[in-house]
Amino acid sequence: MLKYGQKFLKSLNKGYIGKTFNPSPLSLFQQEQKGKLASFMADKVAKSPSDHFKNYFAGRSLVLDSAENVGWGAINEGLGSARKLGWGAAAGVAGASMMGIDPFGITSGAKGAASLGIQGSIGMGLYRMGGMSKLAGIGYLGATAINTFRRGDNWGPM
C-alpha cells in the first residue's frame, strides 16, 4: 500500500499540482531571480505588510529595474480596481458560505468549481499512474463528471 501511495504522489506531481507546487529544477538564472524576490519579500513585505497590500491593490506589480533590483512598478488603476473587485467578491462569497446563504447560487457554484478541480486532480493522478490505476482514474473522472451535472446525492467520495 505504501508503494501504491508513493506511486500516486509521483504521478500527481507530474500534473498541474506538481507543476505549480514542485517545479522542475531551476536554472541558475531562475534561482537568481528567486533569490531577488525572496530578498525583496524579506526586506519590504515582511517588515511592512500593509505597504505591500496598499501597492498590490493600487495596481502595482513587481518589476525588475535597470539595476536588476525587484521593486514596485507604476500604478495601473484598472488592474487595481480589478484586484479590489475580485478580492471583494471572493470575500463576499466566503462570508455568505460561512453564514449558509447562497445568493443567486454563487456560493454553491464556487464550491462546485473548487470540488471539480480537486476531484479532477485526483482522477488525473490516478490515470497517470498507468496499469489498473489508469482504469480507476477513468472511473473516478467519470464519477466526477456525472456528479458535476447531477442533482441530489452524489455517487462515490465526492
Angle, helices 132-149/106-129, rounded to nearest 10 degrees: 170
Mean per-residue pLDDT for 62-66?
Answer: 75
Percent of the residues in the chain that have a pLDDT greater than 90, as a whole number: 4
Q: Is residue 108 one of the residues assigned to a domain?
A: yes
Supply the pLDDT for residue 24: 56
Average pLDDT value over all residues in the chain: 78
Q: Does residue 17 sit within a domain?
A: yes
Considering the domain boundaries, does residue 154 fall inside one? no
Q: pLDDT at position 45, please?
A: 66
Residue 53 lies in a domain: yes
Q: Is residue 156 part of a domain?
A: no
pLDDT, tens only, 101-143:
887 788 778 777 877 888 888 888 888 888 888 888 888 888 8
Give me the domain span that covers residue 139.
2-149
Count of domains in the chain?
A: 1
| Grid cell 490505476 in the structure block, residue | 133
Q: Could you tell me if residue 157 is inside a domain?
A: no
Grid cell listed for 60 = 502595482
Whole-number Å distance between alpha carbons of 29 and 69:
14
Bridge partner residues of 64 (DSSP): 70
Q: Give a yes or no: residue 155 inside a domain.
A: no
Written in H, E and C, the secondary structure of 96-156 is HHHHCCCHHHHHHHHHHHHHHHHHHHHHHHHHHHCCHHHHHHHHHHHHHHHHHHCCCCCCC
pTM here is 0.47
Does residue 40 lie in a domain region?
yes
**Helix H or strand E encompassing 63:** strand 62-64
